[in-house]
Each structure stands twice: as C-alpha cells, then as structure tokens.
C-alpha cells in the first residue's frame, strides 16, 4: 500500500512500471494453460478471496498467485532491482508489497487453502513449472471433464 506518492522525479518511472505490470500477463496466461492441462478447474481473479488470487478453486481449496519479480520483489532474483534514485522510497514500497503478500498468504492458509506462488522468472522453464504445479496442488478429481459438466448441468451453478 502506498503511504505517500512517489517522489516527483520518479513519477515517470512509476507510471511506466505500472503500465508494464498491467500489460505483461504472459506468465499468468502460461500458468492458466498449464493448470487447465493438468485437469484443474478454477476461477480467475476471485475477489471473494484475500488478495484476489490469479487462479483459485474454493471447493478444492487451493489458490495460485503469479507474481511479477519486480513488483513483488522476488528475494534473490536479478529482476528484483531497486531504482538508484529515491532508493529509500522504493525499498519501502517493495517491503510493503512483500508484507501484503505475506499477510494474504497467511490469511488464506488459515482458511485451509493451499497457497502456491509462481514467480514470473519461473515461467521461463515450463517443464519445471509444470512439475511444481503437479506436486504442489491437490490432484484434480479423477472424473473426466464431461462428468463434471453433467453434474453442473443438473445442479444450480455454484462457485468453483
């Protein structure tokens, strides 16, 4: 959360980065594709859950966040740089982002959710990423997609 606006000299950099964050959804699309390929069903950006997870299945109680390494300041990652100018302000901003992520993950875990955080840089290695998703998420129901759809057709629509 922003405590104060960015220093005037950094406003341009701030806006540029904000735009970049909104436009660069490639890692998110990859993760969705992998999850669907593993047979998972999920909702996107579920605002009913803390932190509006990128992908979530409430019934099976798991969420996946896809984090940009820069904004969420991936520890030890070369992409998690700090601008040279107004360094202290940026450091505080990134620290706040990390704290918020930790609070969100803790709240979800308390509610019994399995929380998986995928970093943008992990999306470079699709095979390893797919393995990780397979291991860290509960197995999707063995029933095929069709039987789930049939069940849905008979019952009133419910949240995933």
DSSP 8-class letter at 127: H
Q: How far is the CB of 127 from Zn ion (least distance, A)?
A: 17
Nearer Cβ to Zn ion, position 49 or 121? 121
Give the residue with the Cβ less far from Zn ion, 111 or 125: 125
Contact map string, positions 4 to 43, toward Zn ion, x by CB under 5 A: ----------------------------------------
Which tokens go with 109? 């875990």
DSSP sequence for 11-73: HHHHHHHHHHHHH--HHHHHHHHHHHHTT---EES-TTSTT--SEEETTTTEEEEEE-TTTTT
SS3 117: strand
Per-residue string for binding with Zn ion, 62-91, x by CB under 5 A? -------x----x--x--------------
Least CB distance to Zn ion at residue 55 (A): 19
Identify which of residues 13 and 121 has a Cβ nearer to Zn ion in the complex. Answer: 121
Lookup: tokens for 105? 């993950």
| Tokens found for residue 5 | 């606006």
Within 13 Å of residue 159, how many CA atoms lie on the same side as its CB? 13
Residues 103-142, interacting with Zn ion (CB under 5 A)? 119, 121
Question: Assign residue 76 a region: left if phi > 0, alpha if psi is -120 to 50, beta otherwise?
Answer: left
Smallest gap from Cβ 2 to Zn ion, in A, equals: 23
Rounded distance between C-alpha atoms, residue 63 and residue 52, angstroms: 9
Q: Which of residues 77 and 148 has its CB atom nearest to Zn ion in the complex?
A: 77
- Count the site residues for Zn ion by CB under 5 A: 5
Q: Where does this chain bind Zn ion (CB under 5 A)?
A: 69, 74, 77, 119, 121
């Amino acid at each position: 959360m922003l405590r104060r606006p960015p220093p005037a000299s950094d406003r341009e950099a701030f806006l540029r980065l904000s735009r970049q964050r909104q436009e660069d959804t490639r890692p998110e699309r990859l993760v969705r594709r992998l999850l669907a390929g593993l047979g998972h069903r999920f909702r996107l950006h579920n605002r009913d859950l803390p932190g509006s997870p990128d992908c979530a299945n409430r019934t099976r109680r798991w969420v996946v966040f896809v984090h940009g390494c820069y904004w969420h300041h991936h520890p030890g990652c070369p992409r998690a740089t700090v601008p040279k100018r107004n360094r202290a302000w940026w450091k505080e901003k990134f620290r706040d982002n990390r704290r918020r992520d930790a609070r969100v993950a803790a709240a979800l875990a308390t509610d019994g959710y399995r929380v998986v955080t995928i970093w943008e840089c992990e999306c470079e290695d699709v095979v390893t990423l797919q393995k990780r998703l397979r291991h860290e998420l509960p197995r999707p129901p063995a029933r095929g997609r069709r039987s789930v759809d049939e069940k849905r057709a008979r019952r009133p629509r419910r949240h995933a």
